[in-house]
Each structure stands twice: as structure tokens, then as C-alpha cells.
Structure 1
């Protein structure tokens, strides 16, 4: 067992972790497929084999990437403001990308209704509020208090990045107390239903940052540890077996109806005995315990298998790595493409060939985009830097 789950080897300083790129690329593919509901291929994405889905993976890996990218500036003793400015600059970029894809997506649905008479698209994805109360909704969109369906993960990410300097500062000195505080915050959010508000509609954010921060913080602390050539949560044979057993049990749960019925009945009984909802159901807004535990167990198992480093570095996974290295551009473009395909799916019945052509064409476009951006980055880095200007005597 020891050689199977010894944990991945430390990376050389400055090296990219191919596993992060590969799994982030895989999550982006799953998100793209899931964002076009009604295709036959959504039945094969990872959400059909567990309690959690690609959203949990995306948020965890976003924290992991942030820990790798930004923790050095907080550790090296430089100006604190410069360290804070880097994740905040990324949050600013996310905000404008979110506003841009929101506007483009609205144009897609407005065009579908105006030119093709597909007025039903205006009743989907939380767009109806714009039709019923346009002025208030137009105020809510830039405030992030009104988010359209499938366009609500970037607001979550940017809020978490804005809060990340506190986690970096605390995590460098007290990593485990920081982790425990994150767990306590998740409990408080669930216990008292604390969430950021919506406007003009009622309720809170679909991805509640006060709950989802636990996945982000776990990833961030893990990334900070990886930056120093160690693991935040060490490989332990018993923890590995427990996590693996839970992941396999969940697969059986979701695939065997009698087991699923018995499991739901058991959770229902726990709820009847007084356990709160965030421990006994599968609520996504508050990332309830079954979803959270499944995601963390899966991440731990995958991070503990050394062979995945070889898989991630192989030529077979190069397309996924390419997508993962350009996560923001691929996610934003994929979101716009998926909503365009949603409009088409309002008049197209599920069919393996038609769905395959639509999704396949979208994925090819995303691969071409990631190739172009990665090539541009590589060529720019290969260019010799201009010599520093000298002052004439």
C-alpha cells in the first residue's frame, strides 16, 4: 500500500504542477458539458458518480493555484501592500470578465427571442427578473447581487480572492488554526443561514462565499505548503483508505437505487432527530456536508497517488493541460458557448450525433483558444529582453 499512495514527489522551485493543469482542464470540460443541459453526454460527467461535481473541484483548484501563485510574496518579507495587490488585481480582472460574459450572454438570449421567437429563453437562468424589473436588475448586475444562471462562479471566486490576504497572513503563521477557523465559518454559515444578499430578488447567492470558502481555503493552504515542497495534509494510510472507501461507497450510493433510497432515509432520520440541514442534505449553496466530504475525500485520494504525476505529464493529457493553463479564458469562452448552445437546445431534441457535434465543436474551439494563448505566452517568454537604456555622459 505504501508505494501506491506515497504521495507525489515535490516539484522543483518554479515548476508547474501538471496534475493541477490536467485536473483543471478536466473540470473545465465537465463544466462546459454540464452547462448545456439536455444533452445525452451530461449523463457521463463526474456529477453522475458522486455527491460533488466540477464546481467543487474548480473552487478547490482555484485556491490551490492562488496558494502557489501568491503565497511567496507574503512570505518573502517584501512590502505587504504589493503582496495584497496581486490577488486583488486578479479579482478586478475576474469582475470585468464576469460583466463582459454577462452582457454577451444577455445578447445571445435577447437575439434568440427577438430574431427566432424563442421567448422561453427569457424565463430561464434568472433572466426573468430583468424582464419584470429591468431598472433594479440593471443595478443589481454590476453590484453582483443579481447573477444569471451558470454565471455565478466568477463572483464567488473574486470575493474569495479579495478575502485571501487574510488567509495568507494567518496561514503562514498558524495554518491549522486558520483551517479550523474556516471550518467554524462554514458551520456558522450553515447553522444561521448566513449568505450574501440578492437584489432585486430575494434570497442569497447561489454559491454562498461564506460556505464555499472552506474548499477555497483548503486548496489555498495546500498550495502554500506545495510552494514549500511539502503537503498541508500528510499522506496517511488509514486516511487514504477511509477516503477511498468513502469515494467508492458514494459511487455505489448514486448508482444503486436501493442503496440511494436507504441512504436518503438514513439522512432523513438524522434530520428528524434534529441535525441541521447542512449536515443531512445535499444543498449546493451552503456546500452541505455530503458534498463537502465527498469532494475532500476525492481530492485527497487523487493527491496521494504518485502515478498521477506521470499521467498528468504524458502526451495523452496534453489537451487537458493546455485548457487548464488558460483557465479563465477557457471558462469565460466556454460559458458563452454553452449559453449559445442552450438557446439552440430549446428547439433541438437530445440526440447522440447532434449533441456530439455541438459539444465537440465547442470543445475544439476551446482547445484552439488555449493553444493560441499558450503559444503566445511561450513565444513572448522566448523573446530576448531589451537592454536597459543607458544615460549618455
Structure 2
């Protein structure tokens, strides 16, 4: 079977990026928007698409991946994300402590920066060790840990996909039951908000789906009964989550562990799987033209890392405006959110155009495996289009 061109990875990543921006902006409707997507949210989609992209970028179309080569490339990618994470934190801390911001104390408290202000020497070291992740800068560290595991998953999957799933499930269960989680001094519970030992199962699902695409198969095979069940779960999850969250039940009793974001509770995981299954089996989404009116969103998914960094900075600016002013009116909040989304889409569109102009790769109908970056053809059907971050930047 000939490989499929899976543009929906870019679409889902692009939408997820914009939703994450609104979630982190801290405007009056951020929480309601986040909770209106069911038990899971954009984070699961983002991590799953990263797994799919990693499979497409690092695994050859035939045969087994070379462990040493993949390990070297993923470690290099992880270190790049580490540098970007430190840069973002440095920029934010400098802005908060140096600029004449109104209501600075509220910002310091909101972003858990007080420990850094009171003991900069100690917590600067904790920052370097990823044991202090303030200001909601906790997504990139998750990728910093997950990306180097790609060659290990490839090796396990090469022996048996079921073995990989079993190992991932056991690790997920152990992390949830025994509270295995790295330290984060910025969190009230003292652990990472995104527990990598739990979230690795979302990442693995993406890797397995990506390997199917790599082999020219559909990522999630269609079964009518499963599609209807997933669709029903997604529909029911929205009002159920809104009721439980705003009714205060999500933080009480057994439901708390079922919807835990830190340990990727079972309801969150099932909901995320249901959403992705529906998305990748909707005929309407298969027919969307990536060069059409949703082109900028596809472009955001193809240029996910720079768009993510830009969105992080913009969301912090909006949040600082909200906190510093004691609250903005709804019209101004909407205007700032729309402006932030427009800036991100414009950046993605510009980066896409620049990459297209600089592309000098000969036309090829299939994705070409090599020891370095792979060649893609923008025009011909292929596993991935050539501008995609998934080819070179699979982490986000």
C-alpha cells in the first residue's frame, strides 16, 4: 500500500497550540473553554501528535530503526528543547523582576516565582535540574524527558507492539498508584504537574499510530461500533466534565484520581483516545485542503515549536495584563486573545512561505529515509508534507 499524506497531524497540532494559548492566557473564559472539551484537553492531543511525529521523523519506512542514530538525534532534540525552556524562564523572570510591572507581587505569586526571588542561587540550580518549573513552564520539560525514550520504544515495538503497550501500561499504573513523579518545587504538591511516567502512555499511542502511517496504513483503523462508541463518549464527556468541575466534584472522592491531569487519569486517557479516534476517522477532516482557508492553522502545526514559544510569551503578556490590572473587561479580553491568535497564525504563515521558497529538494513521491534529515515533496502524496516540523522538530 502506498504511504498516506497525513496532514491531520498538523491540523490537530495547530488547533491544540491555539487552545493552549487561550488556556494559559488566564482570561475570564479560559477555564470554561478548557473544561468544555471533556475530561481531556489540548495537552493530550499535543503529546499524542508529538509521538506520531517522532515515529515519522525517526523510524525508516522499512526495517528497524538504528538505535544509536535515533538516540543521538533525539538527545540532540531534547537538549535543544532544554535550552529553549531555560531561555523562556530567564526571559520571564527578568521581565517580572526588572520591568516596572503593576501588581508585581500578584504576578510573582501567580507564577510561583517567590522561591527564586528569595533564594536565587539555590533555585537557579533547581531550574537547571528541572526541579523547579514555575510560571506554567512545564510542558517543554515533559518533552525533554519523553523524546529521548523514542529509541527505547522503537526497540520494544520491534520485538512486539503488545510488549511495548504492556510495559507502558504497567508504568502508567505504577506511577498512578505509587505516586512516582519527579520533584517540582513550584507546585503545591512538590511534583511535576505533567508526570512523565504517566504521560508516556499518551506519547506511546502516538508513536504506534505514527508507525502505522509510516508503513502506509491508516493511523486508527475504522470500526463502526468503535467510532460510534468514541463519538458518544466525547459527547457525554463535555457536560459531565463541566458538571463535575464547576460543581466541585472533580477535586473530591474517587473522581479526583479518575480525571487527574498529573497522573493522566483513566477518564482523561479514554477521552483523549476517543477524540483522536473520531478526528482521524471523520471523512470531513480527511477532505480539508491544507492550502485552503484553514491553511494558517495547518502552518501552525507544521511550525509548532516557534509558534509554541510565541504563544507562551503572548499568553504570559495577556495574563500579566489581567493580573496587573485586577481584571480586564470581556471585550478587551476577547480582543487580546484574537490578537494573540492572529500573531501566531501570521508567524506560522510567514515561516511556511520562507521554507517553501528555500526548498530545493527534487520532487519525490515517497518519504526518503536517510541518516540525516529526510527529504519530502510538497506536491506529491507522501507520508508528511515537507514543511512539517514533524520531519525535523517532532517534539512539539
Q: TM-score, normalised by structure 2?
A: 0.83
1:99 to 63, 86, 93: 86
Name the structure 1 match of 2:271.
Answer: 294
Match of 1:373 in 2: 351
Which aligned runs of 4 or more in structure 1 are off by greater than 4 angstroms? 75-79, 199-202, 257-265
Residue number among 43, 65, 78 corresponding to 1:55 in the alignment: 43
Question: Is residue 159 of structure 2 the alignment partner of residue 181 of structure 1?
Answer: no
* Alpha-carbon distance in structure 2 between the residues aligned to 1:147 and 1:309: 38
Deviation string 1:229-265 (CA, Å, 9 cap, x unpaired) is 124653222222221111111123135x499969879
Give the equivalent residue in structure 2 for 1:203. Answer: 190
- In the alignment, the residues of structure 2 paired with residue 187 and residue 147 of structure 1 have an alpha-carbon distance, to the nearest angstrom, of 25
Partner of 2:147: 161
User: For residues 163 and 383 of structure 1, do their structure 2 counterparts lie closer, same or farther at Cα, with a shift above 3 Å needed?
Assistant: closer
Q: Which runs of 5+ in 1 are unaligned?
A: 1-9, 385-393
Larger helix share, 1 or 2: 1
- Structure 2 segments unaligned to the other structure (5+ residues): 363-396
Deviations 1:136-158 (A, max 9, x none): 11101111111013210100011
The answer on whether the counterparts of 1:94 and 1:158 sit within 8 Å (CA) in structure 2 is: yes
Which 10-residue stretch deviates more, 313-322 or 215-224? 313-322
What's the CA shift for 1:118? 2.6
Following the alignment from structure 2 to structure 1, what is the Cα–Cα distance between the partners of residues 164 and 361?
Answer: 42
Partner of 1:49, secondary structure, is coil
| Alignment pair present for 1:120 and 2:106 | yes
Partner of 1:192: 178
Shift of 1:97: 0.9
Q: Which residue of 2 aligns with 1:307?
A: 284
Which of 120, 124, 127 is matched with 1:138 structurally? 124
Q: Which moved more, 1:130-139 or 1:147-156?
A: 130-139
| Separation of aligned partners in 2, 1:334 and 1:259 | 26
| 1:39-78 superposed matches below 5 A | 39-40=28-29, 42=30, 45-72=33-60, 76=63
Measure the CA separation in 1 of the matches of 2:305 and 2:210. 18
Q: Within 5 A, what are the aligned runs for 1:330-349?
A: 330-346=307-323, 347=325, 349=327
Check 1:77–1:106 CA distance in 2 against 1; reply closer, same or farther (3 A cut). same
C-alpha contact 2:55 2:211 (8 A) present in aligned 1: yes
Q: Tell me what 1:387 maps to.
A: none
Q: Distance in 1 between matches of 2:171 and 2:103?
A: 47
Question: With structure 1 as the length reference, what TM-score do the two structures score?
Answer: 0.84
Q: Secondary structure of 2:148's match? A: helix
Question: How many residue pairs get matched?
Answer: 360
Tell me if 1:35 matches 2:35.
Answer: no
Change (3 A) 1:69 1:190: same
Larger radius of gyration: 1
Cα gap change, 1:82 to 1:254, in 2 (>3 Å): closer
Tell me the distance in 1 between the aligned counterparts of 2:111 and 2:35.
20
Closer/same/farther in 2, CA of residues 229 and 77 from structure 1, 3 Å limit:
closer
- Picking from 57, 73, 77, the partner of 1:86 is 73
**In structure 2, distance between residues paired with 1:51 and 1:350:** 28
Give the CA RMSD over aligned residues.
2.7
Structure 2: distance between partners of 1:16 and 1:128: 48
| Structure 1 residue 235 corresponds to structure 2 residue 222 | yes
